[in-house]
Structure 1
Amino acid sequence: MRRIGILLADLFDEREFLYPYYRVQEAGYAPMVLGPEAREYRAKSGFAWKAEAAAGEAPPLEGLLIPGGFAPDYLRRSPEVLALVRKVAEEGKPLGAICHGPWVLVSAGLVRGRKVTGFFSIRDDLENAGGLYREEGVVVDGNLVTAQGPKDLPAFMRAFLGLFRG
């Protein structure tokens, strides 16, 4: 089965994880939860989910999603996570990040010259990294899909999954 990775670290936003997890399944893909380590991670609410594998041990993926919350600040500290994100981007596969998720894209060096959006508080980070910030709910630039927050989840996932159709 074709896998789409979803990155987790502590303090993830459970809405931005669970909605994509089940939408990926509905679209006929196998969601694969990855983290800096293969272990259980806790959401901001206390909800927990286990990463099946460490990012450095990920099998080939068809695409990758980065939920928000505070987790992206932990994810961006992992060289293995950044290497996986860069690999997916270099292969031209769909790469999605929502809310604070684009922080990981900044640390991976992937926003320069790209149209992006994210939670309003990371706008400066995105622009300082060379991103072309758009004040829009969802922004698509090639294989990259970014979104501002939970209210944008339906449009975010339509755009992300739409990259597989066309």
Structure 2
Amino acid sequence: MAVSLPLSGQKFLLFTGEDYEDLELWYPKLRLEEAGAETTLAGLEAEKTYLGKHGYPSVSEVTIDSINSADFHGVICAGGWMPDKLRRSEKVLSLLQEFNESGKLIAAICHGGWMPISAGIYSGVKVTGSPGIKDDLINAGAIWEDAPVIVDRHFVCSRRPSDLPDFCKGILEVLKAT
């Protein structure tokens, strides 16, 4: 008997790059796949191996520049130091703006919130994130709360790796896959 998985047929984009936070990329990726989704790792270069802050490798399957937001149901923005570099990419910013305009999942954890901040999509959104970017979030017009997870419409935010179970539950809640 075949098991029906709640996210079968859905596709999700995960940004990767040098010094990503290992758990914040891999935990949601594997959780989405466990629920039947397809995931794509996209970096500034295709087929490049990027090392996480703790040395775990990820290989970008495609370039960020080749991504079309219409092909995905949502995006995961992991933390680490990677977001500080990726938020300088016009394509990353336009993708996030397109996901927002379409009301698709935008999930950011820890320093991953830097990317939606730079995309200008957090104004009036209830969020959390690493305490290190609290001022950035507030200055971007977001409504800050210190909590393990915040879900506001299609936005899901968490603070740090220890919040990952709540973060993934929030993602599944938005996707109605709980």
TM-score (norm 2): 0.89
What residue is the counterpart of 1:48 in the other structure?
57
What residue is the counterpart of 1:78 in the other structure?
89
After superposition, residues 3-82 of structure 1 pair within 5 angstroms as 3-38=11-46, 39-59=48-68, 60-82=71-93
1:56, CA displacement in angstroms? 2.1
User: What amino acid maps onto 1:47 in structure 2?
Assistant: Y
Give the Cα separation in 1 of the matches to 2:59 and 2:88.
19
Give the Cα separation in 2 of the matches to 1:14 and 1:5.
16
SS in structure 2 of the partner of residue 101 of structure 1: helix
1:49, CA displacement in angstroms? 1.0
Tell which deviates more after alignment, 98-107 or 29-38. Answer: 29-38
Give the Cα separation in 2 of the matches to 1:71 and 1:91.
25
Give the Cα separation in 1 of the matches to 2:49 and 2:91.
18
**Deviation readout 1:79-138 (Å, 9 max, x if unpaired):** 111111111111101110000000101000011111011000100000011110011111
Tell which deviates more after alignment, 108-117 or 40-49. Answer: 40-49
Q: What stretches of structure 1 move > 6 A for 4+ residues in a row? A: none
Runs (5+) with no aligned partner, structure 1: none
1:113 aligned onto 2:124: yes
SS in structure 1 of the partner of residue 175 of structure 2: helix
Identity %, equivalent residues: 36
1:54, CA displacement in angstroms? 1.3
User: What amino acid maps onto 1:80 in structure 2?
Assistant: K
Equivalenced residue count is: 166
CA RMSD of aligned residues (A): 1.2
1:123 aligned onto 2:123: no
Runs (5+) with no aligned partner, structure 2: 1-8
SS in structure 2 of the partner of residue 45 of structure 1: coil
The answer as to whether partners of 1:56 and 1:84 remain within 8 angstroms in 2 is no
What residue is the counterpart of 1:143 in the other structure?
154
